[in-house]
Chains A and B, each alone.
Chain A
Amino acid sequence: MTLTSLRKPTIGVVDIWRIPLGDPDGYDELLSPAERERLRTRIGTGRVRFVQSHAALRRIVALYQGCAPRLAALRVPYGQAPRADGIELSLAYCDDIALVAVATTPVGVDVEPRAAGHDEDLDELAELTLSRRELATFRSAPDRAATWLRAWTRKEAVLKARGEGIGERLVSEIDVASEHVEELTLSDLAPTEEHVGAVALRNPETTMVWKELA
């Protein structure tokens, strides 16, 4: 039986899939052998998030490829962006939510709980992670926690869109004060009332289309 493919996003469009995380029972069957091997290193809530988010990623890719999840052409190398034929992907998850960004040009997505912006050492965090321009904005911001967290999620999204890891360069060197960072366009996300995020897309403009995975 041939399944109908979901239409891929056009240039400049990012499909953002919002996935609530919860009971992982049954979802580990959707994981690849390599993912199951990595699953052995996860315990507790980390295990739940891994199973659900990776299974959701496979189901989403299968929708675009018009096949059953087990047959999706998807590779998820450790520490790197997931790769699938014909589409660009990025996965982020925290607490009880995951986001999958799908586009036709390189894309990066990040999500964090709003509470992550609140920290007793926020001033030191800002000095360590923000560029000079961002730091000026931070110091005059009415909501410093939200300002710092917005910058952080943008930086993570930029790194992921470029295929770089957090440990490859200082995040303070990535200036995300503007919505355009060289070849990337940044958009802030509010996937739920309790979470914030950002998406970076290699395109002069970005249109986001929110999708829910049943």
Chain B
Amino acid sequence: MSRAEARAQVIRALAEKKRRSPADLETELRAAGEECPYDSIWLVKAGVRAAKNMGVKFTPRASDACAFKSVEALTTYLCERASQEDAA
């Protein structure tokens, strides 16, 4: 799965959880900065949903805690997990 596809999954999951359109959410995220920081409770919720949709098992190690700091960090984490599972 490409990074763009993984990011789209995260945005879609976040939009579902927040009951907002992906386009509106994207506008807000872009305004917040390159990393797209967001409220952690919603990143955790979106991460769980996106992982489920991607067929990725969400088992972060301590070093993965930073996955919940921003949309971009979450995307990176899920992308890496998806690659690891494809390779396994």
How many residues belonging to B are interface residues under a CB distance threshold of 8 Å?
A: 27
Task: List the B side residues contacting A112 at CB < 8 Å.
Answer: 41
Q: Which of B24-60 contact A (CB under 8 A)?
A: 24, 27-28, 31-33, 39-41, 44-45, 47-49, 52, 58, 60
Asked if A41 and B33 make an inter-chain contact with CB atoms under 8 angstroms apart, the answer reads yes
A167 and B69 in contact, given A119-B17, A124-B48, A173-B62 (Cβ under 8 angstroms): yes
Which residue from B28, B45, B67, B69 sits with its C-beta under 8 Å from A125? B45
Asked whether any CB of chain A lies closer than 8 Å to the CB of B1, the reply is no
- Contacts of A166 on B, CB cut-off 8 Å? 40, 65, 68-69
| Residue of B24, B65, B66, B73 ringed by the most chain A CB atoms within 10 A | B65
The answer to whether A128 and B48 touch across the interface, beta carbons within 8 angstroms, is yes
Interface centre among A43, A165, A167, A170 (most CB of B within 10 A): A167
Q: Which of A121, A165, A170 contacts B52 (CB 8 A)?
A: A121
Residues in A whose Cβ lies below 8 Å from that of B60? 128, 170
Q: Which of A42, A121, A168, A170 contacts B49 (CB 8 A)?
A: A121
Which chain A residue shows the least CB distance to B47?
Answer: A128
**In angstroms, how far is the closest chain B Cβ from the Cβ of A115?**
10
Among B45, B49, B60, max chain A CB count under 10 A is at: B45
Interface string of B1-35 (1 = CB under 8 A from A): 00000000000000001000000100110011100
Which A residues touch B47, using CB under 8 A? 128
CB-based contact A168/B65 at 8 Å: yes
**Is A34 among interface residues, defined by CB-CB distance under 8 A?**
no
* A positions within 8 Å CB-CB of B: 41-44, 46, 94, 112, 116, 119-121, 124-125, 128-129, 152, 156, 165-171, 173
Show the binding face of B for A, using Cβ within 8 Å: 17, 24, 27-28, 31-33, 39-41, 44-45, 47-49, 52, 58, 60-62, 64-69, 73
> 10 A-B Cβ contacts within 8 A?
A112-B41, A116-B41, A120-B49, A128-B58, A156-B41, A165-B69, A166-B65, A169-B62, A170-B60, A170-B65
Given known contacts A42-B31, A121-B49, A167-B40, what 10 new A-B pairs fall within 8 Å (CB)? A46-B32, A121-B52, A125-B45, A128-B44, A128-B48, A129-B44, A156-B41, A166-B68, A169-B62, A170-B64
